[in-house]
Amino acid sequence: MSIASHSTAPGANLLFEHYCEEPGCQEWGGFGHSPSPAVPTRWWCWGHFPYKTYEQEQAFRRKLEASERGPAQ
């Protein structure tokens, strides 16, 4: 058995994988929130992200609808 293909490049350990922190959720945590630089950022998927604003949600919905309709041009 070899794990030679596993990345050992410098800095690889710094690439922090952050999935949604909601228990049982397997989504990628693409939406982070931290109240201050001293507090580690917490991550959620869009569906569980508790800090989204009404405007953000509307913008996200427009983006979703646009992608469902296909290219705008």
Note whether 25 binds Zn ion by CB under 5 A. Answer: yes
Q: What are phi and psi of 59, to 5 degrees?
A: -65, -40
CA distance 25 to 56: 21
CA distance 23 to 45: 12
Note whether 28 binds Zn ion by CB under 5 A. Answer: no
Note whether 48 binds Zn ion by CB under 5 A. Answer: yes
> What is the token pair recorded at 28?
């990628």
> What is the token pair recorded at 43?
């991550």
Task: Tell me the site size for Zn ion, rule CB under 5 A.
Answer: 6
**Least distance (Å) from Zn ion to the CB of residue 18?**
11
- Which span (33-41, 44-52, 54-62, 64-72) binds Zn ion, by CB under 5 A? 44-52
Contact positions vs Zn ion (CB under 5 A):
20, 22, 25, 27, 45, 48
